[in-house]
Structure 1
Amino acid sequence: MTPLIAAADLARLISGPTARGERPVLLDVRWQLGGPPGRPAYEAGHLPGAVYVDLDRDLAGLPGPGGRHPLPEPSAFGTAMRRAGVRHDRPVVTYDGGQGWAAARAWWLLRWAGHERVRVLDGGLAAWQGELTEREPDPEPGDFVPKPGALPVLDAEQAAALARRGLLLDARAGERYRGEVEPIDPIAGHVPGAVSAPTTENVGPDGLLLPARELAERFGALGAEPDTEIGVYCGSGVSAAHTALALAVAGREAALYAGSWSEWTATPGRPVATGPEPG
Protein backbone atom coordinates (compact mmCIF):
# COMPACT_ATOMS: atom_id res chain seq x y z
CA MET A 1 0.00 0.00 0.00
CA THR A 2 1.26 3.44 -0.89
CA PRO A 3 1.89 5.50 2.26
CA LEU A 4 0.08 8.56 0.87
CA ILE A 5 -3.51 9.38 -0.03
CA ALA A 6 -4.61 12.45 -1.98
CA ALA A 7 -7.31 14.68 -0.53
CA ALA A 8 -9.69 13.97 -3.42
CA ASP A 9 -9.32 10.21 -2.96
CA LEU A 10 -9.90 10.50 0.78
CA ALA A 11 -13.01 12.61 0.19
CA ARG A 12 -14.47 9.86 -2.00
CA LEU A 13 -13.70 7.24 0.63
CA ILE A 14 -15.41 9.01 3.50
CA SER A 15 -18.36 10.54 1.65
CA GLY A 16 -19.41 7.84 -0.77
CA PRO A 17 -20.81 4.33 -0.23
CA THR A 18 -17.92 2.34 1.18
CA ALA A 19 -17.87 -1.06 2.83
CA ARG A 20 -17.34 -0.73 6.58
CA GLY A 21 -14.05 -2.55 6.42
CA GLU A 22 -12.73 -0.07 3.85
CA ARG A 23 -13.84 3.19 5.44
CA PRO A 24 -10.70 4.54 7.08
CA VAL A 25 -10.26 5.51 10.69
CA LEU A 26 -9.20 9.17 10.62
CA LEU A 27 -6.63 10.46 13.10
CA ASP A 28 -6.13 14.21 13.49
CA VAL A 29 -2.59 14.66 14.80
CA ARG A 30 -2.16 18.44 14.67
CA TRP A 31 0.99 19.46 16.54
CA GLN A 32 3.78 22.00 16.22
CA LEU A 33 7.21 21.95 17.81
CA GLY A 34 7.09 24.64 20.47
CA GLY A 35 3.69 25.78 19.20
CA PRO A 36 0.23 25.84 20.73
CA PRO A 37 -1.54 22.55 21.49
CA GLY A 38 -3.41 21.03 18.56
CA ARG A 39 -6.59 20.25 20.46
CA PRO A 40 -8.18 23.73 20.17
CA ALA A 41 -7.59 23.74 16.41
CA TYR A 42 -9.19 20.30 16.20
CA GLU A 43 -12.23 21.50 18.16
CA ALA A 44 -12.59 24.49 15.83
CA GLY A 45 -12.89 22.22 12.80
CA HIS A 46 -11.73 18.82 11.61
CA LEU A 47 -12.47 16.18 9.00
CA PRO A 48 -15.81 14.47 9.59
CA GLY A 49 -15.29 11.45 11.81
CA ALA A 50 -11.70 12.29 12.73
CA VAL A 51 -10.48 11.56 16.26
CA TYR A 52 -7.89 13.83 17.84
CA VAL A 53 -4.62 12.16 18.86
CA ASP A 54 -2.19 14.06 21.08
CA LEU A 55 1.38 13.52 19.91
CA ASP A 56 3.02 14.22 23.27
CA ARG A 57 0.58 12.04 25.19
CA ASP A 58 -0.32 9.25 22.75
CA LEU A 59 2.59 9.00 20.31
CA ALA A 60 5.55 9.35 22.67
CA GLY A 61 6.79 8.23 26.04
CA LEU A 62 7.81 10.57 28.82
CA PRO A 63 10.79 12.79 27.96
CA GLY A 64 14.04 11.89 29.67
CA PRO A 65 17.36 10.19 28.90
CA GLY A 66 15.74 8.53 25.89
CA GLY A 67 15.00 11.89 24.30
CA ARG A 68 12.20 14.42 24.11
CA HIS A 69 9.84 12.09 22.24
CA PRO A 70 10.93 8.51 22.95
CA LEU A 71 8.82 5.71 21.56
CA PRO A 72 5.72 5.08 23.67
CA GLU A 73 5.31 1.88 25.59
CA PRO A 74 3.47 -0.50 23.25
CA SER A 75 0.69 -1.14 25.78
CA ALA A 76 0.04 2.59 26.23
CA PHE A 77 0.16 3.17 22.48
CA GLY A 78 -2.27 0.31 21.91
CA THR A 79 -4.68 1.74 24.47
CA ALA A 80 -4.59 5.15 22.78
CA MET A 81 -5.16 3.65 19.33
CA ARG A 82 -8.03 1.44 20.48
CA ARG A 83 -9.61 4.48 22.14
CA ALA A 84 -9.40 6.22 18.77
CA GLY A 85 -11.16 3.28 17.10
CA VAL A 86 -8.16 1.76 15.33
CA ARG A 87 -8.80 -1.80 14.22
CA HIS A 88 -6.66 -4.41 12.52
CA ASP A 89 -9.23 -4.86 9.73
CA ARG A 90 -9.71 -1.18 8.82
CA PRO A 91 -7.33 1.22 7.09
CA VAL A 92 -6.10 4.30 8.92
CA VAL A 93 -5.45 7.78 7.52
CA THR A 94 -3.48 10.28 9.56
CA TYR A 95 -3.30 14.01 8.96
CA ASP A 96 -2.09 17.21 10.60
CA GLY A 97 -2.21 20.90 9.85
CA GLY A 98 -0.10 20.56 6.74
CA GLN A 99 3.51 20.28 7.90
CA GLY A 100 3.25 16.51 7.80
CA TRP A 101 5.65 15.73 10.64
CA ALA A 102 3.07 14.68 13.23
CA ALA A 103 0.98 12.73 10.73
CA ALA A 104 4.13 10.90 9.63
CA ARG A 105 4.98 10.11 13.25
CA ALA A 106 1.54 8.48 13.69
CA TRP A 107 1.96 6.62 10.37
CA TRP A 108 5.41 5.37 11.36
CA LEU A 109 4.32 4.22 14.83
CA LEU A 110 1.32 2.31 13.51
CA ARG A 111 3.43 0.66 10.82
CA TRP A 112 6.18 -0.14 13.36
CA ALA A 113 3.52 -1.65 15.62
CA GLY A 114 2.26 -3.94 12.89
CA HIS A 115 -0.71 -2.18 11.25
CA GLU A 116 -0.43 -2.87 7.54
CA ARG A 117 -2.83 -0.30 6.07
CA VAL A 118 -1.86 3.20 7.13
CA ARG A 119 -1.63 6.28 4.93
CA VAL A 120 -0.91 9.96 5.39
CA LEU A 121 -3.12 12.65 3.86
CA ASP A 122 -0.76 14.31 1.38
CA GLY A 123 -0.59 18.02 2.22
CA GLY A 124 -2.58 17.59 5.41
CA LEU A 125 -5.55 19.75 6.30
CA ALA A 126 -4.29 22.50 3.99
CA ALA A 127 -4.98 20.21 1.01
CA TRP A 128 -8.50 19.34 2.12
CA GLN A 129 -11.24 20.94 0.02
CA GLY A 130 -14.26 19.48 1.79
CA GLU A 131 -16.25 20.70 4.73
CA LEU A 132 -14.99 20.56 8.29
CA THR A 133 -17.01 19.83 11.38
CA GLU A 134 -16.85 20.73 15.05
CA ARG A 135 -18.71 17.56 16.00
CA GLU A 136 -16.51 15.10 17.87
CA PRO A 137 -17.15 11.43 17.11
CA ASP A 138 -17.65 8.75 19.70
CA PRO A 139 -15.81 5.90 17.99
CA GLU A 140 -16.46 2.28 18.73
CA PRO A 141 -13.40 0.99 20.60
CA GLY A 142 -10.90 -0.66 18.30
CA ASP A 143 -9.10 -3.98 18.62
CA PHE A 144 -5.58 -2.97 17.59
CA VAL A 145 -2.85 -4.68 19.63
CA PRO A 146 0.67 -3.49 18.80
CA LYS A 147 3.27 -6.00 17.70
CA PRO A 148 6.41 -3.83 17.52
CA GLY A 149 9.19 -4.56 15.10
CA ALA A 150 7.60 -4.24 11.67
CA LEU A 151 9.86 -1.26 10.92
CA PRO A 152 13.54 -1.04 11.93
CA VAL A 153 14.70 1.12 14.86
CA LEU A 154 18.18 2.30 15.85
CA ASP A 155 19.63 3.11 19.24
CA ALA A 156 22.51 5.57 19.68
CA GLU A 157 25.27 3.02 19.20
CA GLN A 158 23.62 1.53 16.14
CA ALA A 159 23.11 4.99 14.64
CA ALA A 160 26.77 5.82 15.13
CA ALA A 161 27.83 2.57 13.45
CA LEU A 162 25.41 3.03 10.56
CA ALA A 163 26.79 6.52 9.90
CA ARG A 164 30.13 4.82 9.08
CA ARG A 165 29.02 1.75 7.15
CA GLY A 166 25.88 3.04 5.43
CA LEU A 167 23.95 6.31 5.31
CA LEU A 168 22.62 8.18 8.34
CA LEU A 169 20.47 11.17 7.37
CA ASP A 170 20.01 14.16 9.68
CA ALA A 171 16.52 15.57 9.02
CA ARG A 172 16.94 18.81 10.99
CA ALA A 173 17.45 22.24 9.47
CA GLY A 174 20.88 22.74 7.91
CA GLU A 175 21.97 25.35 10.44
CA ARG A 176 21.31 22.96 13.31
CA TYR A 177 23.20 20.18 11.52
CA ARG A 178 26.16 22.50 10.98
CA GLY A 179 26.12 23.53 14.63
CA GLU A 180 25.50 27.21 13.94
CA VAL A 181 22.43 27.31 16.19
CA GLU A 182 20.75 24.95 18.62
CA PRO A 183 17.47 26.32 19.96
CA ILE A 184 16.35 23.23 21.86
CA ASP A 185 19.04 20.73 22.80
CA PRO A 186 22.09 21.42 24.97
CA ILE A 187 24.78 20.86 22.31
CA ALA A 188 24.94 21.98 18.66
CA GLY A 189 26.18 19.82 15.82
CA HIS A 190 25.45 16.38 14.40
CA VAL A 191 26.27 12.71 14.78
CA PRO A 192 29.70 12.17 13.21
CA GLY A 193 29.31 10.72 9.74
CA ALA A 194 25.68 11.81 9.32
CA VAL A 195 24.59 13.58 6.13
CA SER A 196 22.36 16.66 6.17
CA ALA A 197 18.89 16.07 4.65
CA PRO A 198 16.44 18.71 5.92
CA THR A 199 12.87 17.46 6.13
CA THR A 200 11.58 20.69 4.63
CA GLU A 201 13.10 19.65 1.29
CA ASN A 202 10.76 16.63 1.08
CA VAL A 203 7.87 18.83 -0.06
CA GLY A 204 7.22 21.18 -2.93
CA PRO A 205 5.88 24.74 -2.93
CA ASP A 206 2.32 23.35 -2.95
CA GLY A 207 2.88 21.63 0.40
CA LEU A 208 2.60 18.18 -1.14
CA LEU A 209 5.30 15.55 -0.89
CA LEU A 210 7.55 15.57 -3.94
CA PRO A 211 6.79 12.89 -6.55
CA ALA A 212 8.46 9.53 -6.00
CA ARG A 213 10.92 10.04 -8.85
CA GLU A 214 12.09 13.40 -7.50
CA LEU A 215 12.42 11.99 -4.00
CA ALA A 216 14.46 9.06 -5.32
CA GLU A 217 16.72 11.54 -7.11
CA ARG A 218 17.04 13.71 -4.01
CA PHE A 219 17.99 10.84 -1.72
CA GLY A 220 20.14 9.23 -4.39
CA ALA A 221 22.21 12.40 -4.55
CA LEU A 222 22.73 12.07 -0.80
CA GLY A 223 23.96 8.49 -1.16
CA ALA A 224 20.76 6.48 -0.84
CA GLU A 225 21.17 3.82 -3.51
CA PRO A 226 18.82 0.81 -3.72
CA ASP A 227 21.20 -1.40 -1.73
CA THR A 228 22.27 1.26 0.81
CA GLU A 229 21.47 0.69 4.46
CA ILE A 230 19.76 3.90 5.58
CA GLY A 231 18.94 5.45 8.93
CA VAL A 232 17.39 8.80 9.78
CA TYR A 233 17.21 11.01 12.85
CA CYS A 234 16.19 14.56 13.78
CA GLY A 235 15.84 16.44 17.06
CA SER A 236 13.47 14.06 18.81
CA GLY A 237 12.21 11.52 16.28
CA VAL A 238 9.23 13.45 14.85
CA SER A 239 10.42 15.17 11.66
CA ALA A 240 12.64 12.15 10.97
CA ALA A 241 9.45 10.10 10.58
CA HIS A 242 8.51 12.42 7.72
CA THR A 243 11.81 11.66 6.01
CA ALA A 244 11.20 7.95 6.59
CA LEU A 245 7.83 8.47 4.89
CA ALA A 246 9.46 10.29 1.98
CA LEU A 247 12.01 7.51 1.63
CA ALA A 248 9.21 4.94 1.60
CA VAL A 249 7.49 6.85 -1.22
CA ALA A 250 10.84 6.80 -3.04
CA GLY A 251 11.06 3.03 -2.58
CA ARG A 252 13.70 3.05 0.17
CA GLU A 253 13.38 1.66 3.68
CA ALA A 254 15.04 3.53 6.52
CA ALA A 255 15.59 2.73 10.18
CA LEU A 256 14.53 5.44 12.62
CA TYR A 257 16.89 6.58 15.35
CA ALA A 258 13.97 7.30 17.65
CA GLY A 259 15.89 9.06 20.41
CA SER A 260 17.59 11.30 17.85
CA TRP A 261 19.71 14.33 18.77
CA SER A 262 17.89 14.90 22.07
CA GLU A 263 19.00 11.45 23.26
CA TRP A 264 22.45 11.71 21.69
CA THR A 265 23.27 14.89 23.60
CA ALA A 266 21.75 13.66 26.86
CA THR A 267 24.77 11.40 27.45
CA PRO A 268 27.97 13.35 28.21
CA GLY A 269 30.99 12.46 26.12
CA ARG A 270 29.29 11.36 22.91
CA PRO A 271 31.21 12.72 19.91
CA VAL A 272 29.79 15.71 18.06
CA ALA A 273 30.67 16.96 14.58
CA THR A 274 30.06 20.48 13.30
CA GLY A 275 30.27 22.17 9.92
CA PRO A 276 28.80 21.23 6.54
CA GLU A 277 30.64 17.92 6.16
CA PRO A 278 29.69 14.60 7.79
CA GLY A 279 32.87 14.60 9.89
Structure 2
Amino acid sequence: MTNVFVTVDQVETPARFIDVRFNLMDNNEGRTQYEKEHVAGAVYFDLEKDLSDMSKQAGRHPMPEKEQLIELFEHVGLHLADRIYIYDQGGAPFAPRAWWMLKYAGFENVSIVNGGFEALKNAGYATTSNKESFDRSSITPNWQQDIYADREYVKAITEGAKEAILLDARAAIRYRGEHEPLDPVAGHIPTAKNFDWEQVKDGTHLVVTDELKQAVPTDQEVVVYCGSGVTASPLYTVLKEAGYDHVKLYVGSYSDWITKYPIATGEE
Protein backbone atom coordinates (compact mmCIF):
# COMPACT_ATOMS: atom_id res chain seq x y z
CA MET A 1 0.00 0.00 0.00
CA THR A 2 1.35 3.42 -0.96
CA ASN A 3 2.08 5.79 1.92
CA VAL A 4 -0.19 8.82 2.06
CA PHE A 5 2.78 11.08 2.84
CA VAL A 6 6.33 10.86 1.55
CA THR A 7 9.42 12.95 2.16
CA VAL A 8 11.42 14.21 -0.81
CA ASP A 9 13.96 11.40 -0.45
CA GLN A 10 11.16 8.84 -0.83
CA VAL A 11 9.95 10.19 -4.18
CA GLU A 12 10.43 7.59 -6.91
CA THR A 13 10.71 8.28 -10.62
CA PRO A 14 9.37 8.12 -13.25
CA ALA A 15 6.39 9.91 -11.82
CA ARG A 16 3.73 12.52 -12.46
CA PHE A 17 3.60 15.66 -10.29
CA ILE A 18 0.52 17.72 -9.51
CA ASP A 19 0.91 21.24 -8.12
CA VAL A 20 -2.06 22.40 -6.05
CA ARG A 21 -0.71 25.48 -4.29
CA PHE A 22 -3.53 27.82 -3.32
CA ASN A 23 -4.48 30.65 -0.97
CA LEU A 24 -8.04 30.83 0.34
CA MET A 25 -7.62 34.58 0.79
CA ASP A 26 -6.30 35.14 -2.75
CA ASN A 27 -7.59 32.58 -5.20
CA ASN A 28 -5.16 33.61 -7.95
CA GLU A 29 -2.00 33.25 -5.91
CA GLY A 30 -1.46 29.53 -6.42
CA ARG A 31 -1.74 29.64 -10.19
CA THR A 32 0.53 32.69 -10.28
CA GLN A 33 3.13 30.80 -8.25
CA TYR A 34 2.83 27.81 -10.57
CA GLU A 35 3.25 29.93 -13.70
CA LYS A 36 6.31 31.57 -12.17
CA GLU A 37 8.00 28.33 -11.11
CA HIS A 38 6.95 24.71 -10.65
CA VAL A 39 8.52 21.27 -10.61
CA ALA A 40 9.32 20.33 -14.20
CA GLY A 41 6.49 18.23 -15.60
CA ALA A 42 3.98 19.22 -12.92
CA VAL A 43 0.43 20.07 -13.95
CA TYR A 44 -1.69 22.50 -11.96
CA PHE A 45 -5.03 21.73 -10.30
CA ASP A 46 -6.91 24.76 -8.98
CA LEU A 47 -8.93 24.25 -5.78
CA GLU A 48 -11.89 26.27 -7.02
CA LYS A 49 -11.73 25.68 -10.80
CA ASP A 50 -10.77 21.99 -10.80
CA LEU A 51 -11.28 20.41 -7.38
CA SER A 52 -14.63 22.09 -6.66
CA ASP A 53 -17.73 22.96 -8.67
CA MET A 54 -18.37 26.51 -7.53
CA SER A 55 -21.58 26.69 -9.58
CA LYS A 56 -23.33 24.31 -7.17
CA GLN A 57 -25.29 25.22 -4.07
CA ALA A 58 -23.81 22.50 -1.86
CA GLY A 59 -21.45 24.30 0.48
CA ARG A 60 -18.61 26.70 -0.24
CA HIS A 61 -16.39 24.21 -2.12
CA PRO A 62 -18.88 21.74 -3.62
CA MET A 63 -18.01 18.29 -4.90
CA PRO A 64 -17.50 18.16 -8.69
CA GLU A 65 -19.54 15.68 -10.70
CA LYS A 66 -17.77 12.47 -11.67
CA GLU A 67 -17.78 13.56 -15.32
CA GLN A 68 -15.94 16.75 -14.38
CA LEU A 69 -13.25 14.78 -12.55
CA ILE A 70 -12.82 12.38 -15.46
CA GLU A 71 -12.34 15.34 -17.82
CA LEU A 72 -9.80 16.90 -15.43
CA PHE A 73 -7.72 13.74 -15.18
CA GLU A 74 -7.92 12.85 -18.87
CA HIS A 75 -7.12 16.40 -19.99
CA VAL A 76 -3.71 16.25 -18.29
CA GLY A 77 -3.03 12.71 -19.42
CA LEU A 78 -3.24 10.82 -16.14
CA HIS A 79 -3.62 7.03 -16.04
CA LEU A 80 -4.88 5.03 -13.07
CA ALA A 81 -1.58 3.13 -12.84
CA ASP A 82 0.61 6.28 -12.76
CA ARG A 83 2.89 6.98 -9.82
CA ILE A 84 1.63 10.40 -8.75
CA TYR A 85 3.00 12.93 -6.27
CA ILE A 86 0.98 15.93 -5.16
CA TYR A 87 2.47 19.03 -3.58
CA ASP A 88 1.23 22.36 -2.28
CA GLN A 89 3.10 24.95 -0.22
CA GLY A 90 3.52 22.37 2.55
CA GLY A 91 1.43 21.86 5.68
CA ALA A 92 -1.66 23.04 3.80
CA PRO A 93 -5.04 21.39 3.05
CA PHE A 94 -4.85 21.57 -0.75
CA ALA A 95 -2.68 18.53 -1.48
CA PRO A 96 -4.89 16.44 0.85
CA ARG A 97 -8.00 17.65 -1.01
CA ALA A 98 -6.49 16.59 -4.36
CA TRP A 99 -5.23 13.31 -2.88
CA TRP A 100 -8.73 12.46 -1.69
CA MET A 101 -10.20 13.26 -5.13
CA LEU A 102 -7.69 10.98 -6.85
CA LYS A 103 -8.29 8.18 -4.36
CA TYR A 104 -12.05 8.63 -4.84
CA ALA A 105 -11.52 8.03 -8.58
CA GLY A 106 -9.49 4.89 -7.93
CA PHE A 107 -5.89 6.08 -8.40
CA GLU A 108 -3.89 3.83 -6.10
CA ASN A 109 -0.27 4.94 -6.38
CA VAL A 110 -0.63 8.54 -5.21
CA SER A 111 1.18 10.35 -2.38
CA ILE A 112 1.51 13.81 -0.86
CA VAL A 113 5.00 15.30 -0.68
CA ASN A 114 5.48 16.54 2.87
CA GLY A 115 7.36 19.82 2.84
CA GLY A 116 5.69 20.93 -0.39
CA PHE A 117 7.21 22.76 -3.34
CA GLU A 118 10.18 24.25 -1.47
CA ALA A 119 11.25 20.84 -0.19
CA LEU A 120 11.31 19.46 -3.74
CA LYS A 121 13.16 22.51 -5.03
CA ASN A 122 15.71 22.40 -2.22
CA ALA A 123 16.26 18.71 -2.89
CA GLY A 124 17.37 19.55 -6.40
CA TYR A 125 14.29 18.78 -8.45
CA ALA A 126 14.34 20.78 -11.68
CA THR A 127 11.90 23.68 -11.81
CA THR A 128 10.55 25.64 -14.75
CA SER A 129 8.00 28.24 -15.78
CA ASN A 130 7.20 26.36 -18.99
CA LYS A 131 3.63 25.46 -19.85
CA GLU A 132 3.29 21.69 -19.46
CA SER A 133 1.53 19.58 -22.07
CA PHE A 134 0.63 15.90 -22.09
CA ASP A 135 -1.26 13.69 -24.50
CA ARG A 136 -4.85 13.20 -23.44
CA SER A 137 -5.58 9.91 -21.70
CA SER A 138 -8.69 7.77 -21.41
CA ILE A 139 -9.54 6.32 -18.02
CA THR A 140 -12.30 4.25 -16.48
CA PRO A 141 -12.35 5.30 -12.82
CA ASN A 142 -12.87 2.77 -10.06
CA TRP A 143 -15.03 5.01 -7.88
CA GLN A 144 -14.52 4.53 -4.15
CA GLN A 145 -17.94 5.49 -2.82
CA ASP A 146 -17.06 4.21 0.64
CA ILE A 147 -14.81 7.23 1.31
CA TYR A 148 -17.51 9.79 0.44
CA ALA A 149 -20.28 11.02 2.75
CA ASP A 150 -23.16 13.26 1.71
CA ARG A 151 -25.56 15.31 3.83
CA GLU A 152 -28.10 12.50 4.26
CA TYR A 153 -25.44 10.05 5.38
CA VAL A 154 -24.32 12.53 8.04
CA LYS A 155 -27.93 13.12 9.08
CA ALA A 156 -28.30 9.40 9.71
CA ILE A 157 -25.30 9.55 12.04
CA THR A 158 -26.74 12.47 14.01
CA GLU A 159 -30.00 10.52 14.43
CA GLY A 160 -28.27 7.33 15.56
CA ALA A 161 -29.32 5.37 12.48
CA LYS A 162 -25.64 4.91 11.53
CA GLU A 163 -22.82 4.38 14.01
CA ALA A 164 -19.86 6.65 13.31
CA ILE A 165 -17.87 9.50 14.83
CA LEU A 166 -18.35 12.93 13.27
CA LEU A 167 -15.11 14.87 13.55
CA ASP A 168 -15.16 18.65 13.06
CA ALA A 169 -11.78 19.92 11.81
CA ARG A 170 -12.38 23.63 12.46
CA ALA A 171 -10.99 25.79 15.27
CA ALA A 172 -12.67 25.20 18.63
CA ILE A 173 -14.25 28.68 18.77
CA ARG A 174 -16.01 28.00 15.46
CA TYR A 175 -17.04 24.51 16.58
CA ARG A 176 -18.56 25.90 19.79
CA GLY A 177 -20.35 28.64 17.86
CA GLU A 178 -18.53 31.51 19.56
CA HIS A 179 -17.13 32.95 16.33
CA GLU A 180 -18.07 32.29 12.69
CA PRO A 181 -16.27 34.37 10.06
CA LEU A 182 -17.53 32.56 6.96
CA ASP A 183 -20.91 30.89 7.36
CA PRO A 184 -24.24 32.58 8.24
CA VAL A 185 -24.94 30.28 11.20
CA ALA A 186 -22.46 29.55 14.01
CA GLY A 187 -22.09 26.13 15.62
CA HIS A 188 -21.47 22.54 14.58
CA ILE A 189 -23.26 19.46 13.32
CA PRO A 190 -25.04 17.75 16.24
CA THR A 191 -23.11 14.92 17.96
CA ALA A 192 -19.80 15.96 16.34
CA LYS A 193 -16.51 16.00 18.23
CA ASN A 194 -13.89 18.67 17.56
CA PHE A 195 -10.26 18.25 16.52
CA ASP A 196 -8.69 21.32 14.92
CA TRP A 197 -6.77 20.26 11.79
CA GLU A 198 -3.98 22.68 12.72
CA GLN A 199 -3.06 20.17 15.45
CA VAL A 200 -1.68 17.80 12.80
CA LYS A 201 0.36 20.55 11.16
CA ASP A 202 4.07 20.71 11.93
CA GLY A 203 5.51 23.54 9.89
CA THR A 204 5.37 22.43 6.26
CA HIS A 205 4.51 18.85 7.22
CA LEU A 206 1.31 17.05 8.18
CA VAL A 207 1.92 14.40 10.85
CA VAL A 208 0.14 11.73 12.84
CA THR A 209 -0.16 12.83 16.48
CA ASP A 210 -0.82 10.93 19.68
CA GLU A 211 -3.59 13.42 20.46
CA LEU A 212 -5.47 12.48 17.29
CA LYS A 213 -5.11 8.75 17.93
CA GLN A 214 -6.36 9.24 21.49
CA ALA A 215 -9.34 11.29 20.29
CA VAL A 216 -10.51 8.80 17.68
CA PRO A 217 -10.91 5.04 18.32
CA THR A 218 -9.36 2.95 15.56
CA ASP A 219 -12.24 0.48 15.44
CA GLN A 220 -14.96 3.01 14.59
CA GLU A 221 -15.97 4.68 11.37
CA VAL A 222 -14.98 8.34 11.23
CA VAL A 223 -16.59 11.03 9.07
CA VAL A 224 -14.54 14.23 8.92
CA TYR A 225 -15.88 17.64 7.99
CA CYS A 226 -14.96 21.32 8.32
CA GLY A 227 -16.51 24.51 6.96
CA SER A 228 -16.34 23.73 3.25
CA GLY A 229 -14.66 20.33 2.93
CA VAL A 230 -11.15 21.68 2.41
CA THR A 231 -9.48 21.76 5.83
CA ALA A 232 -11.09 18.44 6.79
CA SER A 233 -8.91 16.83 4.11
CA PRO A 234 -5.70 16.97 6.21
CA LEU A 235 -7.46 15.10 9.03
CA TYR A 236 -8.70 12.53 6.53
CA THR A 237 -5.21 11.93 5.13
CA VAL A 238 -3.52 11.81 8.53
CA LEU A 239 -6.09 9.30 9.80
CA LYS A 240 -5.41 7.14 6.75
CA GLU A 241 -1.66 7.48 7.33
CA ALA A 242 -2.24 6.34 10.91
CA GLY A 243 -3.93 3.16 9.68
CA TYR A 244 -7.60 3.99 10.18
CA ASP A 245 -9.56 1.83 7.76
CA HIS A 246 -13.02 3.39 7.82
CA VAL A 247 -12.81 7.12 7.14
CA LYS A 248 -15.14 9.24 5.02
CA LEU A 249 -15.03 12.88 3.96
CA TYR A 250 -18.18 14.98 4.03
CA VAL A 251 -17.21 17.23 1.15
CA GLY A 252 -20.14 19.63 1.55
CA SER A 253 -19.32 19.97 5.26
CA TYR A 254 -20.84 22.52 7.64
CA SER A 255 -21.61 25.08 4.91
CA ASP A 256 -23.76 22.45 3.17
CA TRP A 257 -25.33 21.07 6.36
CA ILE A 258 -26.72 24.42 7.51
CA THR A 259 -28.70 24.87 4.29
CA LYS A 260 -31.12 22.18 5.48
CA TYR A 261 -30.58 20.96 9.03
CA PRO A 262 -30.24 22.41 12.56
CA ILE A 263 -26.95 22.87 14.39
CA ALA A 264 -25.62 22.58 17.92
CA THR A 265 -23.43 24.92 19.94
CA GLY A 266 -21.05 24.56 22.88
CA GLU A 267 -19.35 21.28 23.68
CA GLU A 268 -20.93 17.92 22.91
Instruction: Find 1:74's aligned residue among 54, 58, 66.
Output: 66
Which whole-Å CA distance do the structure 2 matches of 1:91 and 1:51 have between them? 14
Give the TM-score normalised by structure 2: 0.90
* Secondary structure in structure 1 of the residue aligned to 2:233: helix
User: 2:143 — aligned with what?
Assistant: 148
2:26 is aligned with 1:35: yes
User: 1:18 — aligned with what?
Assistant: none
Which whole-Å CA distance do the structure 2 matches of 1:132 and 1:73 have between them? 32
2:98 is aligned with 1:96: no
Shift, 1:33, TM fit: 1.6
- Alignment check: 8 A CA contact 1:169 1:230 kept: yes
User: 1:208 — aligned with what?
Assistant: 205
- Alignment check: 8 A CA contact 2:22 2:94 kept: yes
Instruction: Find 1:240's aligned residue among 232, 235, 239.
Output: 232
- Alignment check: 8 A CA contact 2:21 2:89 kept: yes
- Alignment check: 8 A CA contact 1:233 1:240 kept: yes
User: 1:272 — aligned with what?
Assistant: 263
Which whole-Å CA distance do the structure 1 matches of 2:51 and 2:27 have between them? 17
* Secondary structure in structure 1 of the residue aligned to 2:198: helix
- Alignment check: 8 A CA contact 2:224 2:232 kept: yes
Shift, 1:254, TM fit: 1.0
* Secondary structure in structure 2 of the residue aligned to 1:57: coil
Shift, 1:261, TM fit: 0.8
* Secondary structure in structure 1 of the residue aligned to 2:166: strand
Identity of aligned residues (%): 35
Paired positions, count: 259
Instruction: Find 1:112's aligned residue among 104, 128, 135.
Output: 104
CA, structure 1 residues 144+26, in 2 after alignment: closer, same or farther (shift >3 Å)? farther
- Alignment check: 8 A CA contact 1:114 1:150 kept: no
CA, structure 1 residues 266+198, in 2 after alignment: closer, same or farther (shift >3 Å)? same
* Secondary structure in structure 2 of the residue aligned to 1:110: helix
Deviations 1:82-138, CA, capped at 9 Å, x for gaps: 112211221111111123311111100110111111111112123231343212221
Which whole-Å CA distance do the structure 1 matches of 2:205 and 2:190 have between them? 31
- Alignment check: 8 A CA contact 1:160 1:192 kept: no
Which whole-Å CA distance do the structure 2 matches of 1:8 and 1:136 have between them? 26
CA, structure 1 residues 150+273, in 2 after alignment: closer, same or farther (shift >3 Å)? closer
User: 1:256 — aligned with what?
Assistant: 249
User: 1:124 — aligned with what?
Assistant: 116
User: 1:189 — aligned with what?
Assistant: 187
User: 1:225 — aligned with what?
Assistant: 217
AA in 1 matched with 2:258: T
Deviations 1:138-184, CA, capped at 9 Å, x for gaps: 12223333332254222223223335533110011222111121111
User: 1:135 — aligned with what?
Assistant: 130
Which whole-Å CA distance do the structure 2 matches of 1:108 and 1:2 have between them? 13
AA in 2 matched with 1:140: D
User: 2:79 — aligned with what?
Assistant: 87
* Secondary structure in structure 2 of the residue aligned to 1:168: strand
Give the TM-score normalised by structure 1: 0.87
- Alignment check: 8 A CA contact 1:170 1:195 kept: yes
RMSD: 1.8
2:4 is aligned with 1:9: no
CA, structure 1 residues 86+151, in 2 after alignment: closer, same or farther (shift >3 Å)? farther
**More moved, 96-105 vs 124-133:** 124-133
Shift, 1:219, TM fit: 2.4
AA in 2 matched with 1:84: V
For structure 1, list consecutive stretches of 5 or more residues without a partner in the other structure. Answer: 15-22
Shift, 1:63, TM fit: 4.3
- Alignment check: 8 A CA contact 1:74 1:146 kept: no
Deviations 1:23-74, CA, capped at 9 Å, x for gaps: 2211111112232411111011111110111121111123443112121111
CA, structure 1 residues 150+158, in 2 after alignment: closer, same or farther (shift >3 Å)? closer
User: 1:174 — aligned with what?
Assistant: 172
* Secondary structure in structure 1 of the residue aligned to 2:79: coil
Which whole-Å CA distance do the structure 2 matches of 1:263 and 1:63 have between them? 14
**More moved, 87-96 vs 132-141:** 132-141
